[in-house]
């Protein structure tokens, strides 16, 4: 790590070090029209930086683009801007080649992602979201790895209607994507009701206070009034250029690391006293998953624990961490723009010093904490307030009805019709029917059984996640959500043949190395390389605190079981009491241990053949 490299910032001369001589950001980036000097500084910056500046606070040509009925698409530049509004333009990749052959426009539609801080929705909101899915989208609700919902397949002419329906139940999609602080996650934490309340409140406060202030969303999607002066309105925290890249924040409550805190740019770990009261927060910075195959200067990284703050300082700390990244993050190369690279470039000490400078006080030393896993706790749990909570496993978060199988869409709709509590989405793509009074348990349980919502979830499956990938994701190199269920069936057979069917092993698959299902902190990680080809990663920690290592390159889908089977056999035979699979493969010498991002690519396995 080099703490003394000159720093490229968008707004000033290169800095020698972020400590001595570092330019302080007394005022947010200018909201005035760009001067010549500023324009010169902007030269060489990533295209998206120019786009943001020219967009008039995220308006671009979106309003006009929606009126062009001859195409289902919007312009490429507006396609970048629309992300800040929580949308992605996509096309159906299953029929792309066929349509190209017929000289037809791609089958464009939009993915819409909601902002639901902490993943909590009321039954009324659930019913409305369900109706939107069946009216305007592809008939499914997709629970994501970051505790919210996505719609797929919304065509351009339905976008405004969809947004109006979302707004009608007091939800929105602002900043669900784009170079901003995204949906803030919070531990669902059914057992510790008091701690959940505090964590959830912090997530909501951070989400609201770091929300872009532009009126563009209301104006474009809800035909809201344009504010007087329009483009001259002020973004007090972000300025015209927003952030260099996406920024993700989570709030965790030990002992569960269900939100995978080490994968996020910024995190708060609740420090609890003996009565489960939150006494303050450990602050984590610099986690992230995304990388590019074959480019070793891109890598996943687990976050560092930077310090401790008192409850009343958490919001200030969040803003300070985000604004240091705003000012120090790399705006020339989007592949190196996330906070994890900023921390690698400047060092954690310099970064902490600048955060402390901005909050006007020192952070405390991190307090001890223990995580016991990054999965969900399934089944019924009674909270310390006497309310009941039921966590259901939803395969890859896809809420739909399967003929002859689970009917999650109808079943959860029926439950929403009678439920008096709320629903919580988890960071593992699952759903919790939360805050059920004791007297309602049996009725809810009967509906769960009637709609087959608990069938077929063995230990491996319960600890699995797959990203969306094909056919909607434009970046997918291989299948993921559609492929994982079959692979799990094969691996369950293999595990059972070694008596390991009840072992909790985390497995995650993604269609490309962007890592949307956080595969590099799963004990078994499959990462798409090309059609039916995956890199296989092993050796991450069960609690999500250690990255994995590449074990085998380019394994075909047909080979995966054969590659893993001897490892399962060795694990069954040689594991120590309580030893997790991810720890075992390192101790047994199948892969070397990754200490953090910079040595993630250091050694490609296997060290020892299975
Ligand atoms: Fe993601 C891009 C889906 C969580 C890292 N992600 C995408 C896009 C929008 C593809 C695109 O840019 O065109 C995917 C849309 C697929 C589709 O058809 O819906 C997509 N990401 C998802 C979701 C839906 C996966 C899922 O199966 O649930 C998750 C939505 C989360 C949410 O509600 O906000 C999702 N994405 C993640 C995570 C996990 C997390 O944050 O805990 C990561 C890894 C952590 C991280 O950010 O480093 C992640 N997604 C990425 C990246 C790589 C970022 C990077 O720093 O390199 C991209 C590509 C990019 O940003 O350039 C990406
Ligand atoms: Fe798409 Fe890759 Fe994310 Fe999967 S990991 S959803 S393939 S971007």
Catalytic residue among 52, 83, 113, 240: 113
Lowest mean pLDDT among 26-40, 170-184, 404-418, 499-513: 26-40
Q: Which of 104-113, 189-198, 560-569 has the lowest mean pLDDT?
A: 189-198
469 CA → ligand 2 middle, Å: 5
**Domain-embedded: residue 40:** yes
Cβ–ligand 1 contact at 46 (below 6 Å):
no
- Closest to 490 (Cα-Cα) out of 516, 461, 455, 518: 461
Q: 306 with 424, same domain?
A: no
Give the three-state DSSP class for 224: coil
**Domain co-membership, 402 together with 329:** no
Which of 180, 516, 519, 548 for mutating ligand 1's site (highest number of atoms within 8 Å of CB)?
A: 516
Does ligand 1 come within 6 angstroms of the Cβ of 494? no
Considering only CA atoms, which of 603, 122, 553, 514 is closest in space to residue 334?
A: 514
Q: Are residues 50 and 118 in the same domain?
A: no
Q: Are residues 346 and 211 in the same domain?
A: yes
Q: Are residues 451 and 495 in the same domain?
A: no
Question: What is the DSSP secondary-structure string of 531-579?
Answer: TTEEEEEE---TTS-S--EEEEEEEEGGGHHHHHHHHHHHHHHHPPTT-
Which range marks the domain in which residue 546 is found?
461-601
Q: What is the DSSP string of 327-339?
A: HHS-SS-GGG-SH
Domain count, the chain: 3
261 shares its domain with 133: no
DSSP state of 204: H
The answer, yes or no, to whether residue 424 has pLDDT greater than 60, is yes
User: Are 413 and 469 within one domain?
Assistant: no
Q: Which carries the bigger pLDDT value, residue 26 or residue 387?
A: 387
Does the annotation list 467 as a binding residue?
A: yes
Residue 70 lies in a domain: no
Residues 258 and 347 in one domain: yes
Give which of 45, 84, 52 is closest to 172, Cα–Cα.
Answer: 84
What percentage of the chain carries pLDDT values higher than 90? 87
Check whether 332 has a pLDDT greater than 60. yes
Q: How far apart are CA 413 and CA 575, in angstroms?
A: 44
Identify the pLDDT of residue 366: 98
User: Which residues, in sequence order, are CB contacts of 573 under 8 Å at separation 6+?
Assistant: none
> What is the rounded distance in angstroms from the CA atom of residue 272 to the CA atom of residue 195?
8
Q: What pLDDT is attached to residue 7?
A: 39
Structural domain includes residue 553: yes
Q: Which residue has the higher pLDDT, 505 or 2?
A: 505
Give the helix ranges, DSSP H, for 366-429: 408-418
Ligand 2 pocket by Cβ (under 6 Å): 467-469, 473, 475-476, 480, 510-512, 514-516
CATH number at residue 560: 3.30.413.10
Please indicate, yes or no, whether residues 364 and 276 belong to a single structural domain of this protein.
yes
Nearest by Cα to 128 from 118, 141, 115: 141
By CB atoms closer than 10 A (0-12, 13-18, 19+), residue 598 is middle
Locate the ligand 2 atom nearest the alpha carbon of residue 517 and give its number: 5
Helices marked H in 458-551 = 459-462, 484-497
Burial 206-236 (b: 16+ CB within 10 A, else e): bbeebbbebbbbbbbbeeeebeeeeeebebe
User: Which of 121, 94, 110, 222 lies closest to 177 in space, CA to CA?
Assistant: 110
CA 259 – CA 303 distance, rounded (Å): 13
Query: Which residues are CB-contacts of 403 (< 8 A; sequence separation ≥ 6)?
Result: none
Task: Give the CATH number of the domain where residue 427 resides.
Answer: 3.90.480.10
Computed over every residue of the chain, the mean pLDDT equals 91
Residues 153 and 194 in one domain: no
Q: Do the Cβ atoms of 461 and 511 come closer than 8 Å?
A: no
pLDDT top residue among 40 and 254: 254
Q: What is the pLDDT of residue 76?
A: 96
Shortest-distance ligand to the CA of residue 597: 1
Index of the ligand 1 atom closest to the CA of residue 472? 18
The mean pLDDT value for 204-217 works out to: 96
| pLDDT mean over 423-446 | 97
Q: Is 467 a catalytic residue?
A: yes
Mean pLDDT lowest among 2-11, 105-114, 360-369: 2-11
Strand partners, 373: 256
Q: Among 372, 399, 428, identify where a domain stops.
A: 372
Does the annotation flag 512 for ligand binding?
Answer: yes
Catalytic-residue membership of 473: yes
**Among the bound ligands, the one closest to the CA of 291:** 1
For residue 501, being part of any structural domain is answered with yes
423 and 475 in a common domain: no
Options 59, 331, 338, 512, the catalytic residue: 512
Calpha distance 65→575 (Å, rounded): 59
Q: Which of 133-147, 256-270, 444-458 has the lowest mean pLDDT?
A: 444-458
- Does pLDDT of 538 surpass 50? yes
Any ligand 1 atom below 6 A from CB of 199 = no
Model pLDDT, residue 604 = 55
pLDDT band with cut points at 50, 70 and 90 for residue 191: confident
- Tens digits of residue pLDDT in 108-138: 999 999 999 999 999 999 999 999 999 999 9
The answer to whether residue 353 sits within a structural domain is: yes
- Domain boundary among the residues 326, 350, 372 is at 372
Residue 101 annotated to the active site: no
Rg (CA), the chain: 24
Pairing assessment for the beta strands 87-91 and 388-392 based on DSSP bridges = unpaired
Give a yes or no: residue 82 inside a domain: no
At residue 605 the predicted structure's pLDDT band, cuts being 50, 70 and 90, is low
Residue 12 lies in a domain: yes
Domain C-terminal end among 372, 401, 421: 372
For residue 81, being part of any structural domain is answered with no
The 10s digit of each residue's pLDDT in 16-46 is 223 323 333 333 343 445 566 666 667 789 9
pTM over 0.85: yes
Sheet of 533-538, strands arranged across? 464-466, 507-510, 524-530, 533-538, 549-556
- Confirm if 4 and 14 have CB atoms less than 8 A apart: no
Residues 388 and 340 in one domain: no
Collapse the DSSP code of 425 into the 3-class scheme (helix H, G, I; strand E, B; otherwise coil) and give the result. strand
pLDDT tens-place string over residues 569-584: 999 999 999 999 999 9
């Amino acid at each position: 790590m080099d703490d003394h490299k000159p720093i490229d910032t968008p707004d000033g001369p290169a800095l020698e070090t972020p400590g001595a001589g570092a330019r302080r950001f007394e005022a947010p980036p200018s909201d005035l029209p760009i001067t010549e000097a500023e324009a010169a500084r902007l030269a060489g910056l990533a295209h998206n930086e120019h786009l943001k500046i020219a967009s008039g606070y995220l308006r671009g040509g979106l309003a006009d683009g929606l009126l062009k009925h001859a195409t289902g698409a919007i312009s490429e530049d507006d396609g970048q801007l629309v992300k800040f509004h929580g949308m992605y333009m996509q096309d159906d990749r299953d029929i792309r080649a066929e349509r190209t052959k017929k000289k037809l426009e791609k089958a464009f539609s939009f993915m819409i992602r909601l902002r639901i801080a902490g993943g909590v929705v009321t039954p009324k909101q659930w019913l409305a979201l369900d109706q939107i899915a069946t009216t305007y989208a592809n008939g499914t609700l997709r629970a994501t790895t970051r505790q919210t919902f996505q719609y797929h397949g919304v065509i351009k002419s339905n976008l405004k209607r969809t947004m109006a329906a979302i707004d009608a139940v007091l939800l929105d999609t602002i900043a669900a994507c784009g170079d901003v602080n995204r949906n803030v996650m919070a531990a669902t934490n059914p057992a510790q009701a008091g701690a959940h309340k505090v964590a959830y409140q912090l997530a909501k406060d951070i989400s609201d206070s770091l929300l872009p202030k532009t009126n563009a969303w209301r104006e474009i999607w809800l035909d809201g009034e344009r504010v007087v002066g329009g483009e001259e309105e002020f973004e007090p925290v972000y300025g015209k250029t927003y952030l260099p890249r996406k920024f993700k924040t989570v709030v965790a409550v030990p002992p569960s690391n269900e939100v995978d805190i080490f994968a996020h740019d910024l995190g708060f770990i609740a420090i609890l006293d003996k009565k489960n009261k939150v006494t303050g927060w450990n602050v984590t910075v610099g986690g992230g998953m995304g990388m590019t195959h074959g480019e070793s200067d891109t890598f996943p990284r687990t976050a560092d624990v930077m310090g401790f703050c008192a409850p009343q300082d958490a919001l200030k700390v969040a803003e300070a961490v985000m604004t240091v990244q705003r000012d120090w993050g790399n705006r020339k190369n989007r592949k190196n723009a996330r906070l994890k690279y900023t921390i690698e470039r400047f060092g954690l000490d310099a970064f902490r010093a600048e955060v402390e400078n901005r909050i006007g006080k020192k952070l405390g030393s991190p307090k001890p904490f223990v995580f016991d896993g990054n999965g969900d706790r399934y089944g019924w749990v009674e909270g310390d307030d006497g309310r009941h909570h039921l966590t259901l496993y939803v395969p890859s978060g896809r809420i739909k009805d399967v003929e002859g199988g689970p009917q999650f869409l109808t079943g959860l709709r029926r439950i929403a019709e009678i439920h008096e509590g709320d629903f919580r989405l988890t960071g593992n793509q699952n759903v919790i029917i939360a805050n059920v009074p004791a007297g309602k348990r049996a009725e809810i349980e009967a509906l769960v059984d009637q709609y087959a919502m608990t069938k077929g979830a063995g230990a491996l499956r319960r600890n699995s996640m797959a990203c969306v990938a094909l056919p909607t994701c434009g970046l997918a190199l291989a299948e993921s959500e559609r492929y994982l269920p079959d692979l799990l069936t094969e691996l369950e057979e293999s595990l059972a043949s070694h008596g390991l069917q009840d072992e909790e092993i985390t497995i995650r698959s993604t269609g490309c190395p962007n890592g949307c299902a956080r595969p590099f902190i799963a004990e078994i990680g499959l990462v798409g390389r090309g059609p039916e080809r995956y890199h296989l990663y092993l050796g991450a920690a069960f609690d999500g605190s250690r990255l994995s290592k590449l074990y085998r390159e380019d394994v075909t889908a047909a080979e995966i079981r054969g590659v893993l089977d001897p490892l399962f056999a060795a694990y069954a035979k040689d594991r120590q009491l309580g030893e997790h699979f991810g720890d075992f493969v390192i101790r047994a010498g199948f892969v070397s241990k990754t200490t953090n991002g910079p040595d993630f690519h250091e050694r490609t396995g296997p060290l020892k053949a299975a």
